[in-house]
A = this chain, B = another copy of it.
Amino acid sequence: MKLKVYADRMSQPSRAVIIFCKVNGIDYEEIKVLISKGQHLTSEFAEINPMKRLPAIVDGGFKLFESHAILIYLACVFPGVADHWYPADVAKRSRIHSVLDWHHSNLRRGADTYVSNATIAHVAGRPLTPQAAAETETLLLSSLSKLESFWLKDDGCFLLGGNQPSIADLSLVCEIMELEVLDEKDRARLLGPHKKVLQWIESTRNATNPHFDEVHQVLMKVKERLQYQRLKAAKSEGGSDMKKPLLSRM
């Protein structure tokens, strides 16, 4: 039975899992669960993942959720996944675990909450909370700084000095790609000073293309829409159209 991947390409960990499958030639079926339509909250999806979060997989009778756990599982189970994604060497593997654990409480929390508060809340029709965005900005900037000065400090294009990407590169870069939907000036202000981070995003994109770009198309479409809305709002003094949920207009 073919691997089933329950995903929404608007979810960054979903994108990481889909890209991983595509890059590694894993035969899978993508089952779209649209968060914007509340499909992850249904009792039907709770049978797949009782936590009602994305992504989740079903491989034969085996169900699994949490994207890092999924990436590790896929790397271990499917033949043909190159060693650099999740090295067999215990020291290298442990350092990848360390990055992935760090990700949860730092980059994930910073980026996800910042973007959610600064932009996505608007897309979903929820009120923006700039105060919450300001609070998480500190965590986001600190995380980007740690990536620049520590995780990417060694030679090599990838985390921990690697010359080829690991599941940590894919997971963290997909997280940072969320910043694409921010106002361009805001994104440049946050990412601009982090030259190694910018180079690393590009390296990961190149190493996983054309799949990386294809899977990010949905996000890029939202980015374009938001840019258009911002432009329109700037032209009209009241910017009343901004008050309508974007997804209801797509």
Interface residues in A103-137 (C-beta closer than 8 Å to B): 104-105, 108-109
This chain: how many copies in the complex?
2
Kindly list the 7 A-B residue pairs having the minimum CB-CB distance in the complex, ordered from nearest. A104-B104, A69-B97, A66-B101, A69-B98, A73-B94, A66-B98, A50-B150
Number of interface residues of A (CB under 8 A): 28
A247 interfacial contact with B, CB 8 Å: no
Known: A77-B90, A91-B62, A95-B64. A101 touches B146 (CB 8 A): no
Say yes or no: B50 contacts A98, CB within 8 Å.
Answer: no
Of chain B, the residue at the smallest CB distance from A60 is B91
Residues of B within 8 A of A65 (CB): 98
Q: Kindly state whether residue A102 has any CB partner on chain B within 8 Å.
A: yes
- Chain B residues, Cβ within 8 Å of A105: 104, 108-109
In the complex, A177 has a CB within 8 A of chain B: no
Within 47-68 of A, Cβ neighbours of B (below 8 Å) are at 50-51, 62, 64-68
Using CB atoms and an 8 Å cutoff, list the residues of chain A in contact with chain B.
Answer: 50-51, 62, 64-69, 72-73, 76-77, 90-91, 94-95, 97-98, 100-102, 104-105, 108-109, 146, 150
Are A64 and B94 within 8 A (Cβ)? yes
Q: Given contacts A90-B76, A91-B62, are A101 and B69 in contact (CB under 8 A)?
A: yes
Residue in chain B with minimal CB distance to A91: B62
A77 (CB) vs chain B CBs: closest residue: B90
Q: Is the CB of A98 within 8 A of B150?
A: no
Q: Is the Cβ of B94 less than 8 Å from the Cβ of A69?
A: yes
A-B contact pairs, 18 of them (CB 8 A): A50-B150, A51-B102, A51-B146, A62-B91, A64-B98, A65-B98, A66-B97, A66-B98, A67-B101, A68-B97, A68-B101, A69-B95, A69-B97, A72-B97, A73-B94, A76-B90, A76-B94, A105-B108
In the complex, residue of chain B having the shortest beta-carbon distance to the beta carbon of A56: B98
Chain B residue with minimal CB distance to A95? B64
* A27 shortest CB reach to chain B, Å: 18
**Chain B residues positioned under 8 Å from A77 (CB to CB):** 90
User: Bound complex: CA of A56 vs CA of B175, how far in Å?
Assistant: 26
In this complex, what residue of B is CB-closest to A102?
B66
Closest to A72 in B: B97
